[in-house]
Chains A and B, each alone.
Chain A
């Protein structure tokens, strides 16, 4: 273009960042394994489809109890997380509190579950804590940011002769933030049900446990029954989980599944003082040159064989999935927009499809994908893209409803590219960058399914009782998530994107 440099364009920064993200994803694509290794993926798919069309329940008590467990872990976990998150949010202006929250939410609930299982076994306490801890970190961040965002005028109008910060908080800040807090917490509850179901994949008695068993055995009709139960649970929440009934449900879940575990103190002490200590340091009272040398060698070997390849694969897969998520979101958004689907019923179908795709946990999608396509990065990319793309597409579609278009605006594809896409692009990037950290967390966790991301090495370390290695790798994945979160925050500020999320 012959345009001189004096042109002021607000699009060029957005265009550049999108370009570099797309290029990086393409480069990553060259480096990863995308082969379909199963002999006949269509055969497996048609078996699954046949199962999906003929769901069968082999044991109603099992189905109902795993459904109840899934609900109970989620409700208990989010309740505890909301209380702890609220307390943490009160101190959110302190860097230390913010860092602590970032740390606990950077570790995925499955990793927390694997850690607690070593101490508390496959107990109800393990399930509760695995959800409550990372969710507390997330909720603290959201509550804290909401408190910072509220209109300061009401607080400024209070008498100033004697400050009572906490009273002021309860009289001005909290009432103003309350509605958003409630909305966001209820959205998080839906996520917690997905997390709770997925905890079954590592052995807790939720829907995921039976889903995994049935899917692995090729019992697709039985798997379908558990699958539909999960969809039904999430899809009907708004019908029966009313605010006023919440205390009843809370009492019920704590009565039904009291958080308890038989913790052997001996085991706990051993776990903390020996198991998670790097092997060369165990039983060493004095640190001498030889120990330092041993630790170095231990770390170097780990770095070469596990940390570096795990990190690289996590980043590669995360980057591809992020860009694929973005593309899919842009393709899917018309499904939830009256600008493109004029008829109410058509839009209703489109919206339901997006909600359905969003409801499917990416971990479960990836597991199904692996059964069909065989072990490679492909099922992981598809799973992450579909789940996250549907979430962002749904939000963007709703966002387009607020656009004011001229009476003589064009229609169809031209409308999309000339009017809608440029107007929503900032919002789109803001949503995508919010989702980045989540996608990366999920990427790491998909390793448990056999894709060589950090989760793969973490899972193997747990299986071989090398808890020192497991902990180190979990810390590495936490550090990666925190860095990406910081980088995404930096990009949002640079590009002047909206900084407070709505429901991501």
Chain B
């Protein structure tokens, strides 16, 4: 990705905002802007507000966002093919979608198959997702985001259930295909190596916001543990 010059209008912006989750304030007085082209990692303990922030980010540009939530929300008895294809439902007619549900159509297969191959799911393409392992399910969920071909990727722990080696490859793939990437991650090394900017959340505020090349793993440990 090329660096953004001359301060263009930010893609996402919050100024002094309060974000709530189920009626409870999670982040207060939030001021934040993220520009197009950035790769941001959200770091913090569970409950720090990463998912709430991602949800609020999505609401700012729902049509440009490829969404990859922590609970993949796959449909159990449908195949991997259908679960990936579901990302593209709104770019086809209802009749096409329904026909494709009954019998996979050639056009849809050409769209889904390369993605499944990149994700290592070509063997499981026509197996029901409830017969897949946790890691395979998570890859199917990423597939649903990839097929949308949107400029922004928002992922909540998108690779938490796959091994480290695969995780790096998947994150690379996500970054290649999206202009702007914002990820909630718990693996600090991963965050530093993949992302250009780190935002650390703690106690309802942004405790840290810096380019990743100015940070070391030890700088981030303060975000965890008892205060």
A residues whose Cβ falls under 8 Å from a Cβ of B: 1, 3, 6-11, 14, 404-410, 413-414, 417-419, 422-423, 425-426
Chain B residues with CB below 8 A from A14, complex form: 77
Chain A residues with CB below 8 A from B62, complex form: 408
A413–B71 CB distance below 8 A? no
Q: A406 is contacted by which of B69, B103, B128 (Cβ under 8 Å)?
A: B69
Chain B residues with CB below 8 A from A7, complex form: 79, 126-127
Q: A407 is contacted by which of B58, B77, B89, B126 (Cβ under 8 Å)?
A: B58
Q: Would A414 and B89 be within 8 Å (CB), given that A1-B103, A422-B76 are in contact?
A: yes
A418–B82 CB distance below 8 A? yes
Given contacts A8-B127, A410-B89, A422-B75, 13 further A-B contacts (CB under 8 A): A7-B79, A7-B126, A8-B131, A10-B77, A14-B77, A404-B73, A406-B73, A408-B67, A410-B86, A417-B98, A418-B101, A419-B75, A423-B75
Interface positions of B from 63 to 79, Cβ below 8 Å from A: 65, 67, 69, 71, 73, 75-79
Chain B residues with CB below 8 A from A404, complex form: 71, 73
How many interface residues does B have (CB within 8 Å)? 30
Q: A410 is contacted by which of B90, B98, B103 (Cβ under 8 Å)?
A: B90
CA distance A423 to B75 in the complex (A): 6
CA distance A417 to B94 in the complex (A): 10
When C-beta atoms are compared, the residue in chain B nearest to A8 turns out to be B131
CA distance A62 to B126 in the complex (A): 65
Chain B residues with CB below 8 A from A8, complex form: 127-128, 131
B126–A406 CB distance below 8 A? no
A418–B126 CB distance below 8 A? no
When C-beta atoms are compared, the residue in chain B nearest to A425 turns out to be B77
Q: Would A407 and B69 be within 8 Å (CB), given that A1-B126, A414-B97 are in contact?
A: yes
B55: Cβ under 8 A from any A Cβ: yes
Chain A residues with CB below 8 A from B126, complex form: 1, 3, 7, 9
Query: Contact string, B85-104, partner A, CB cutoff 8 A, digits 1/0?
Result: 01001100010011001011
A-B contact pairs, 9 of them (CB 8 A): A7-B127, A8-B127, A9-B131, A11-B128, A14-B77, A404-B73, A408-B62, A414-B94, A418-B82
Chain A residues with CB below 8 A from B104, complex form: 1
When C-beta atoms are compared, the residue in chain B nearest to A409 turns out to be B73
B130–A10 CB distance below 8 A? yes
B78–A407 CB distance below 8 A? no
CA distance A414 to B103 in the complex (A): 15
Chain B residues with CB below 8 A from A426, complex form: 77
CA distance A48 to B193 in the complex (A): 77
Interface positions of B from 112 to 132, Cβ below 8 Å from A: 123, 125-128, 130-131
Chain A residues with CB below 8 A from B79, complex form: 7, 9, 11
When C-beta atoms are compared, the residue in chain A nearest to B129 turns out to be A10
Chain B residues with CB below 8 A from A10, complex form: 76-77, 128, 130-131
Q: How far apart are B66's CB and chain A's nearest CB, in angstroms?
A: 9
Chain A residues with CB below 8 A from B94, complex form: 413-414
The majority secondary structure among interface residues of chain A is: loop
CA distance A419 to B86 in the complex (A): 9
CA distance A14 to B101 in the complex (A): 15
The majority secondary structure among interface residues of chain B is: mixed
When C-beta atoms are compared, the residue in chain A nearest to B86 turns out to be A418
CA distance A413 to B73 in the complex (A): 18
Chain B residues with CB below 8 A from A9, complex form: 77, 79, 126-128, 131
Q: How far apart are A262's CB and chain B's nearest CB, in angstroms?
A: 60
Chain A residues with CB below 8 A from B131, complex form: 8-10
Q: B97 is contacted by which of A6, A406, A417 (Cβ under 8 Å)?
A: A417
Q: Would A418 and B75 be within 8 Å (CB), given that A7-B127, A9-B126, A10-B128 are in contact?
A: yes
A418–B77 CB distance below 8 A? no
When C-beta atoms are compared, the residue in chain A nearest to B92 turns out to be A414
When C-beta atoms are compared, the residue in chain B nearest to A405 turns out to be B73
When C-beta atoms are compared, the residue in chain A nearest to B75 turns out to be A422
A423–B76 CB distance below 8 A? yes
A407–B127 CB distance below 8 A? no
Q: How far apart are B78's CB and chain A's nearest CB, in angstroms?
A: 5
CA distance A6 to B82 in the complex (A): 17
Interface centre among A405, A418, A423, by most chain B C-beta atoms within 10 angstroms, is A418
Chain A residues with CB below 8 A from B82, complex form: 418
Chain B residues with CB below 8 A from A6, complex form: 123
When C-beta atoms are compared, the residue in chain B nearest to A4 turns out to be B126
Q: How far apart are B213's CB and chain A's nearest CB, in angstroms?
A: 33
A407–B130 CB distance below 8 A? no
Q: How far apart are A284's CB and chain B's nearest CB, in angstroms?
A: 61
CA distance A413 to B95 in the complex (A): 10
Q: Which 4 A-B pairs have the closest CB atoms?
A: A406-B73, A8-B131, A3-B126, A11-B77
B97–A418 CB distance below 8 A? yes
CA distance A8 to B130 in the complex (A): 9
Interface centre among B58, B65, B78, B131, by most chain A C-beta atoms within 10 angstroms, is B78
Q: Would A422 and B89 be within 8 Å (CB), given that A1-B126, A7-B126, A407-B67 are in contact?
A: no
CA distance A10 to B69 in the complex (A): 24
Q: How far apart are B179's CB and chain A's nearest CB, in angstroms?
A: 18
Chain A residues with CB below 8 A from B75, complex form: 418-419, 422-423
